Amino acid sequence: MTRLTSYQVRDMPTNQKEANHHCFQSKKINRLHRFNSAVAYACSGLILLALMILNVLFPVHAMASNSSRVIEQVDEGNLSQVTQGILRFQQNGQQFESLPLKTDVQMKVSGWTNRVSVKQTFTNDTTEWINGQYIFPLSHHGAVDQMRLIIGERVIEGDIQPKKQAKATFEKAKKQGKRASLVSQQRTNIFTTDIANLGPNETLTVEISYQEKLVYKDGEFNLRFPMTINPRYAPAQSMLSSQEGGQSTHSGASYLSYESLSPVLPTSLLSFSHEFFNMEKPANSDSSSNSLMVSLSIELDAGFNVASIDSPYHQVTKTGAADKWQINFVNQQKADKDFVLTWRAENIQDYSSKPMTAVFTQVGQTHLPSTFIESNGANSANTAEVKDSHRRNMSNESQYGLVMLTPPFVTNSMGETDTRGAETLNEAADARLTSTHVPRELILVIDTSGSMSGGSLEQAKQAMLYALAGLTSQDKFNVIEFNSSVSQLSSTSLSGSSSNIGKANQFVRQLEANGGTEIGKALAASLLNQTSGTDYASGSEGGNTSASMLRQVIFITDGAVSNEHGLFQQIEAELGDSRLFTVGIGSAPNSYFMERAAMFGRGTYTYIGNIAEIKSKISQLLAKIEKPVSTDIKITYQDGTLPDYWPAQIPDLYQDEPLLVSFKAPAYNQQDLVVSGYTQGQYWQHTINRQTPKKAAGLDLIWANAQINAIEATQTRANLQRIKSQVEALGMKYHLVTSQTSLVAVDKTPVNPMADFNRNMQVKKHLPAGWKSPKGVLPQTATSSRLDILIGLSLLMISLMHGLWLKGYLPGQRLILPKR
């Protein structure tokens, strides 16, 4: 150490005056010197780093003010000043406000049916009279048969009316200043509640009740309550198909556009708009005041000893024992993801070996057309009495029922019955490996539309990768992605060699969400290509192998489309020998579309709600679709005549997926039912004893709903009017909200003299949880290139300065202490 720095010069006189006289002490100084220089270096470095970080964190935002042509459209102040329940949004100079709403859901599960009552409590926090609207999802299995308008202590029972008439009644009441509510259907699973003349600081409750049948699948019962709606994509009717043609892009020429006869959805549902969706900032998300909150309680009467109750996406409390349970939400929950509850029997063999015989019946209708007293299941003893007396009078009433169809057990080569759904993932996977592997052609279709961005796409990718991993070299496969256009991994199906799978993995990993949801094009690409695909295969490999190959299309999407009906028709027309399996992804997929699509595609529907479930669900699906299927299922009476059952076309039965069919039998016909079908080409039949049925309530509603769904699916432009009036008649008779009938309730006395000046408000929805929509939709158009360059230059500068300092070349050093 021959040189001293300015630090030492300053330090020495104060600390170590006689130090430089001794060699021993000069070592000390050396140490001190090193320490000092390290501190000095660290300090200067830290200061610079801090400056840089500050620069990045607080970029100059003041640029907007100096240019007058710039219009600030988002007023941040407004957004953060949310005080009470009302959310204000300014958009194009217009103010949109959200009406606060509390939803209270009560469910009564008994056996296979579920009675749900949804109480929507609207609160008016403003000082004006308002009209409100709330578009909300309900289970597509649900038959909405009751609506009550509750104002304080008074309850006004809703009346079923043809849709137009109900609307007119509602509008008239609105004009007259009467409180009124209207519940109408937009889609099988989307409903609207309108309320009129809600006074300042008033509260009003609309109670909607519906009946639904439960889903039994893989050994467990499944109950789903949707909370929010994915924004839907409406494809342009004329398929101009802008040809962004890469070689892999499916040409639009072979794609036929199937006309959708479903009514147009409100535009606010078709895109992310502030009118409809509650785009809250993350900072506000924890404040419950502006959120749509839901409380939920379930009375579960399973009818068997329940082994496990599981709510995978929400926190619940469970109390009870054996077959009776009470399930509640821990707190009120934000309505941004679907609620799912599953439960299974304690002894699986005990329950699932028997259900072949399960039949549930009910005599007479729930809603009697001649009386005004409505019965609400087993709710009030009073109405039940009235109903009973009524029933005695009309002893020749029809019987409504549900019959469960279970595929007959197929014993495999190992001589044991097939794996039951209760089994764990590992066992299922083992079963998949050990069971005789039928070569198949697996077409994986993935939705990469804008609505999938965020968590959904990640889930879908994981599911794809998992499905790809399960392929063997005997299999053939292809990967198709679609958004506004369709692109495929290869034009024909590839063999499942490891290099091909590697390619596919790469293809899947690079997928990004962007653009629209042209499911039609993707369906065409996945279903229509089969002839050319197999021809090609048979040409190269020689016949037989590809002919016997199962062609399975796994369609992973959130189903956020609005042209459902057209797509169903397309699936029906183009299916051929393929089977379509839909996999619903995300927090709020359109399960109505997916379940029906799977039905038309003669496959099954799987719902995956979070990443953790992907492995088990996909492996279950792959294992299930490998197993033989029961086809051509028919239900007859013993004498061969057909009962009145819906769906009229019974879909194929997959293992572990029993199906519930609704039937109606006239009072005089007490014959047993005979179910028959084919499994692996073998005919089977069994008789279902109708003499000892289990009792259930609300089956007529389920029957009518099944019939409405079935006949609406067959509508074409030619029979549209006929089907409409048929649906209307059914809706009127069974007191159901359908596409043609609505429930309306009107208070008798006018309360608002100035009804024409009401403000119109809408309840905003939450975006489904896990969505990155605000970021995902407008592309991110900046890189950190300039920041990187700046950091790089700064660091270089620091190191240069330090180097110079070590060398003693810095100006100050040279002046103070010249070289010795």
Partner 1 sequence: METGGLMTFYKWILPSCVALIGVSFLSQGAYMQIKANFAQYLIEQAWSKTLKDQLPHKPWSWADTHPVGKLKLYADKETDLYPIGQPMYVLAGASGRNLAFGPSLILSGAGVGEQGNTIIAGHRDTHFLPLKKVKKGDIVELETSYGMQQNYLITQINIVHESQTEILDMTTDNQLTLITCYPFEDLSANSEYRYVVTAKKVNSGHRLI
The pair phi, psi for residue 294, each rounded to 5°, is: -130, 130
Residues 237-266 close enough to bind partner 1 by CB under 8 A: 240, 242-246
With CB under 8 A as the contact rule, the residue among 415, 779, 811, 818 that binds partner 1 is 779
Cα(262)–Cα(278) distance, integer angstroms: 27
The pair phi, psi for residue 344, each rounded to 5°, is: -135, 160
Scored b (16 or more CB within 10 A) or e, 264-301 reads ebbebbbbbbbbbbbbbeeeeeeeeebbbbbebebebe
Integer angstrom CA distances of residue 298 from 271, 324, 689:
34, 10, 31
Closest CA to 740 of 718, 763, 711: 711
Which run of H or E residues covers position 339? Answer: strand 339-345
Q: Is residue 389 near partner 1 by the rule CB under 8 A?
A: no
With 0-12 CB in 10 A as exposed, 13-18 as middle and 19+ as buried, what is 386? middle
With CB under 8 A as the contact rule, the residue among 17, 21, 61, 748 that binds partner 1 is 61
Closest CA to 773 of 106, 274, 66, 266: 274
**Two structure tokens written together for 670:** 């007490």
* Least distance between partner 1 and beta carbon 631 (Å): 40
Q: Is residue 484 near partner 1 by the rule CB under 8 A?
A: yes
With CB under 8 A as the contact rule, the residue among 34, 154, 172, 354 that binds partner 1 is 34
Which C-beta is closer to partner 1: that of 113 or that of 563? 563
Which C-beta is closer to partner 1: that of 479 or that of 727? 479
Cα(471)–Cα(407) distance, integer angstroms: 26
Q: Is residue 189 near partner 1 by the rule CB under 8 A?
A: no
Q: Is residue 203 near partner 1 by the rule CB under 8 A?
A: no
Pick the stretch among 138-146, 188-196, 464-472, 794-802 that binds partner 1 (CB under 8 A): 794-802
Q: Is residue 795 near partner 1 by the rule CB under 8 A?
A: yes
* Least distance between partner 1 and beta carbon 14 (Å): 25
**Two structure tokens written together for 263:** 């009514």
Residues 268-297 close enough to bind partner 1 by CB under 8 A: 271-274, 279
Pick the stretch among 356-364, 513-521, 581-589, 712-720 that binds partner 1 (CB under 8 A): 513-521
Which C-beta is closer to partner 1: that of 485 or that of 705? 485
Q: Is residue 781 near partner 1 by the rule CB under 8 A?
A: yes
Residues 619-678 close enough to bind partner 1 by CB under 8 A: none
Which C-beta is closer to partner 1: that of 446 or that of 583? 446
* Least distance between partner 1 and beta carbon 68 (Å): 11
Which C-beta is closer to partner 1: that of 321 or that of 778? 778
Cα(562)–Cα(590) distance, integer angstroms: 10
| C-alpha 723 chain-centroid distance | 29
Q: What is the DSSP string of 246-296?
A: -TTBPPGGGPPPPPP-SPPPPGGGTS--TTTEE---GGGTT-GGGS-EEEE
Contact 710, 674 (CB under 8 A): no
Which C-beta is closer to partner 1: that of 225 or that of 482? 482
Q: Is residue 65 near partner 1 by the rule CB under 8 A?
A: no
Cα(416)–Cα(433) distance, integer angstroms: 16
Pick the stretch among 57-65, 124-132, 189-197, 359-367 that binds partner 1 (CB under 8 A): 57-65
With CB under 8 A as the contact rule, the residue among 288, 775, 809, 814 that binds partner 1 is 775
* Least distance between partner 1 and beta carbon 509 (Å): 12
What is residue 95's three-state secondary structure?
Answer: strand
**In 315-414, alpha helices (H):** 348-352, 381-393
* Least distance between partner 1 and beta carbon 60 (Å): 5
* Least distance between partner 1 and beta carbon 801 (Å): 9
Which C-beta is closer to partner 1: that of 281 or that of 814? 281
With CB under 8 A as the contact rule, the residue among 19, 44, 45, 151 that binds partner 1 is 45
Task: HSE, CB side, 13 Å, CA atoms: give it for residue 448.
Answer: 22
Closest CA to 26 of 1, 5, 9: 1
Which C-beta is closer to partner 1: that of 369 or that of 774? 774
Q: Is residue 55 near partner 1 by the rule CB under 8 A?
A: yes
Please work out the total of residues on this chain that contact partner 1, with binding judged by CB under 8 A. 70
Q: Is residue 502 near partner 1 by the rule CB under 8 A?
A: no
With CB under 8 A as the contact rule, the residue among 43, 54, 642, 796 that binds partner 1 is 796
3-state secondary structure 410-450: CECCCCCECCCCCCCHHHHHHHHHHCCCCCEEEEEEEECCH
Q: Which distant-in-sequence residues (6+ apart) come within 8 Å of 573 by Cβ?
A: 258
x-marked contacts with partner 1 along 429-468 as a string, rule CB under 8 A: ---------------------x------------------
Kindly report the number of other CB atoms within 10 A of residue 355's CB atom: 15
Contact 201, 125 (CB under 8 A): yes
Q: What is the DSSP string of 204-225?
A: EEEEEEEEEEPEEETTEEEEEE
Q: Is residue 54 near partner 1 by the rule CB under 8 A?
A: no
**Two structure tokens written together for 788:** 């990187």
Cα(586)–Cα(558) distance, integer angstroms: 6
With CB under 8 A as the contact rule, the residue among 200, 312, 803, 812 that binds partner 1 is 803
Cα(282)–Cα(766) distance, integer angstroms: 12
Pick the stretch among 420-428, 482-490, 559-567, 649-657 that binds partner 1 (CB under 8 A): 482-490
With CB under 8 A as the contact rule, the residue among 791, 808, 810, 817 that binds partner 1 is 791
**Two structure tokens written together for 502:** 């590697």
x-marked contacts with partner 1 along 78-117 as a string, rule CB under 8 A: -------------x--------------------------
**DSSP structure class, residue 779:** P
Which C-beta is closer to partner 1: that of 440 or that of 765? 765
Q: Is residue 483 near partner 1 by the rule CB under 8 A?
A: yes
Q: Is residue 53 near partner 1 by the rule CB under 8 A?
A: no
Cα(287)–Cα(379) distance, integer angstroms: 36
Pick the stretch among 101-109, 252-260, 398-406, 785-793 that binds partner 1 (CB under 8 A): 785-793
Residue 141 bridge partners (DSSP): none
* Least distance between partner 1 and beta carbon 2 (Å): 9
The residues of the shown chain that bind partner 1, judged by CB under 8 A, are 1, 30, 34, 37, 41, 45, 55-56, 59-61, 63-64, 69-74, 91, 240, 242-246, 271-274, 279, 450, 483-485, 510, 512, 514-516, 773-775, 777-800, 802-803, 806
